[in-house]
Amino acid sequence: MNQSQDAARSRWLVICVFVLSSTINYLDRQTLAVVWPAIRDEFHLSYSDYGWIIAAFYVPYALAAPFAGLLIDRSGLNRVISGAVGMWSCASIATGFTTGIGALAGARAVLGMSEASGVPSVGKALHLYLLPADRALGNAMSQAALSVGMIVAPPLATWITLRSNWRMAFVVPGLLGLIWIPIWAVVARRSPSKAEGAHLDALPDVLRDRRLWIFAAANAVGMFGYSLWTQFTTTYLVDVHHLSLAEQAWLAWIPPVFGALGGLAGGWLSARLIHRGTAAIAARFRICLGAAMVSLATPVILLAPGPVWACAGISLSIAAVAAFSVNMYTLPLDAFGAARAAFAVSMLVASYGVVQIFWPFLGRVINQYAYPPVILLAAVTPLIACGILWSTRAVR
């Protein structure tokens, strides 16, 4: 095996270990969605209350993301990610000790603030360790890692809740995050990355670049379906199809599997287009557009005669939005380069977080009209996002 092959394998090994933090990130995050029916019953809460808990996570998440991106670019990936994982792990553990909605919201706020470093850190790692044509596939691996967290969360959190209580379901993933930190320290030390030198004087130029705001706006709109199904798959199966917490665990892990497959397909397809000579940004857009067309089938979920068919429809919807996501989050890497990679991605993270503040209102919509309005919205938002990208010539 030649030296270049050894280097390629080493780069991918580092990425594989790094994206485990994404799995832990989403395991921490998704546990709430899985055990929410139990928390709702104990604290006597409504869909609107759930919307406020979601907002309590995402408002700090959105506000912290740009600062996290700047910190990663300036201080270096390894220093920041270890501290962030430690903080969000402790916040997850603390969630298990809450006794009311106020304390629960506070713990979720700390979790959101610390997890804002997760996606920008992945973007920085992809730019430091992978070649340009491989970055969407690397992003797909990260998406798959996020999906693994969503896959593991329903059976693990349900199993822990049924055998102990919902509080322990938050403690276990927090402990896993603390275990990851020394593992990453060893791997990062043995596989040095490219230089991380940040150029802070370039930041005003990035902020004046209209592509950054175009990407952020498109991401804010296009990722609504991802937000819906990561927050409401369990609740939808329990409330609409009358499954118990134990019964939904047999189905709720399936949509994230298709999310992982959709993300991998989206990354692989854009890589194929690039290898065939298509410009990187144009290749990402073509896959985003194809995924948006698939997303238009989302309303079939409303026609599902039973929970299995509903699960199939949710799986199709989340696969489409995952293919959209891995290419959407790779666009800033193509456009802005290594020095501003984390900050550029963090602006997409912030835009995604900002729109989550509407969940208290959307919770009231679900209270009054059930799920059809939000499912119809999830069907069309990726296509609207593609229109934002295309109308501004950012991807032509």
Residue 5 token pair: 């092959």
What type of residue sits at position 178?
A: L
Q: Is residue 279 part of a domain?
A: yes
> For the chain, what is the domain count?
1
What type of residue sits at position 5?
A: Q
What CA–CA distance (Å, rounded) separates 120 from 117? 6
Please state, as a whole number, how many other Cβ atoms lie within 10 Å of the Cβ of residue 324. Answer: 33
Q: Is residue 180 part of a domain?
A: yes
DSSP string covering 255-312: HHHHHHHHHHHHHHHHHHHHHTT--HHHHHHHHHHHHHHHHTTGGGGGG-SSHHHHHH
Q: Is residue 2 part of a domain?
A: no
Q: Is residue 33 part of a domain?
A: yes
Q: Is residue 234 part of a domain?
A: yes
Q: Is the pLDDT of residue 193 over 70?
A: no
The whole domain housing 218 covers 9-188+200-391
CATH of the domain at 360: 1.20.1250.20
Q: Is residue 347 part of a domain?
A: yes
Residue 47 token pair: 């869909």
In tens, the pLDDT along 335-384 reads 877 667 678 888 898 899 888 888 998 889 998 999 999 999 999 999 99
In tens, the pLDDT along 277-316 reads 888 889 999 999 999 999 999 999 999 999 999 999 999 9
What CA–CA distance (Å, rounded) separates 145 from 150? 9
Q: Is residue 217 part of a domain?
A: yes
Can you give the pTM of this predicted structure? 0.78
Cβ atoms 327, 336 nearer than 8 A: no
